[in-house]
Amino acid sequence: MAGPLYSIPGTTPSAASADPPPAQPPVADGARTVAAVLAQTQAGAVMDELERDLVGLAPVKARIREIAALLVIDKLRLNLGLSAASPSLHMSFVGNPGTGKTTVALRMATILHRLGYIRKGHLVAVTRDDLVGQYIGHTAPKTKEVLKKAMGGVLFIDEAYYLYRPENERDYGQEAIEILLQVMENQRDDLVVILAGYKDRMETFFQSNPGMRSRIAHHVDFPDYQAADLLQIADKMLAQQHYHFGPGARAAFVEYLERRLTQPQFANARSVRNALERARLRQASRLFGDQERELTADDLTTISEADIRASRVFQDAAAAPKK
């Protein structure tokens, strides 16, 4: 800003105060190459981190790269004075439980922030309860409050299909959807909405709300993890908590995963995390049982084969053939 934006009453305002200051100075001043923009915005670092930290999810990563590429090219166009209409970035994340929808949404907020698309880069995660009210006239203020909190960042609506309840035509969910649609259309620069949910139910949700479908530019599918991916995830989770598999434990866990995958209600990475939590419990009670023993750091960080083998999954499998 050149001069002050104010003047003394009674005097003619200077020319500087007439035009409003630029809303946002362009992040990449004079950058002419993709590399330059990436270097200035550090979006490359986030994307590499995404590649490194998230196992599998190839289609998701590809999609995020596309979006990031578009934003970088837009930035370059802007630097050359070409018009770059702000793209609609509302997304829907569709996939089974535990496939990393929330984790990716969090990363998405950081990436969009680095690229200068959203101003603050925070994520507000809500469900139906946070948007829909209990009585007439309660829904609109509630939804608007959430939207205001999410502005400048990403609004993540988990299990979005609950917003629409076709069996009850007086359901207040419809009202919340209408307000959402309005803001998604009119204030695209202020916030990005990400809807997440399970595939089949999201499908029905979009069919009954065509307005919602057409306003969402990016439909991203989260595939289920393969056993190899899950093992890698388990390794990462353990490493994060300063644990590691003892001899034979890793093989036992592979076997565990194979059995667990065939069982109903398998929630991908979430099930892996729960399995590891239970293994930690068993390890703790195993060490607790031997009260006289002096424990080394290695003892305390090792998940042994027995800790894994004690799982109910193995017991059920052992019991089954007897029947």
How many chain residues bind other proteins (CB under 8 A)?
26
Residue 246 structure tokens: 């003892």
How far is 115 from 45, CA to CA, in rounded Å? 11
Q: Which of 23/297 has CB closer to other proteins? A: 23
199 binds other proteins (CB under 8 A): no
Q: Which of 8/82 has CB closer to other proteins? A: 8
Partnered with residue 92 across adjacent β-strands are: 195, 219
Q: Which of 146/233 has CB closer to other proteins? A: 146
Site string for other proteins, 245-274 (x = CB under 8 A): ------------------------------
What's the angle, vertex CA 165, arms to CA 162 and CA 166, rounded to 5? 145
How far is 258 from 227, CA to CA, in rounded Å? 7
Provide the minimum distance between the beta carbon of 172 and other proteins in the complex, in angstroms, as a whole number. 19
CB 191 within 8 A of CB 151: yes
Partnered with residue 195 across adjacent β-strands are: 92, 157
Q: Which of 8/58 has CB closer to other proteins? A: 8
Residue 159, φ and ψ in degrees, nearest 5: 50, 55
Residue 95 structure tokens: 């996939």
Q: Which has the closest alpha carbon to 151: 116, 181, 120?
A: 120
Provide the minimum distance between the beta carbon of 154 and other proteins in the complex, in angstroms, as a whole number. 11
Q: Is 286 helix (H, G, I), strand (E, B) or coil?
A: helix
Provide the minimum distance between the beta carbon of 189 and other proteins in the complex, in angstroms, as a whole number. 8
The one-character DSSP state at 163 is: G
Provide the minimum distance between the beta carbon of 126 and other proteins in the complex, in angstroms, as a whole number. 13
Site string for other proteins, 10-49 (x = CB under 8 A): x--x---x--xx-x--------------------------
> What is the footprint of other proteins within residues 131-190 (CB under 8 A)?
141, 144-145, 147-149, 151-153, 187, 190
- CA–chain centroid gap for 75, Å, is 24
Residues that bind other proteins (CB under 8 A): 5-10, 13, 17, 20-21, 23, 119-120, 122, 141, 144-145, 147-149, 151-153, 187, 190-191
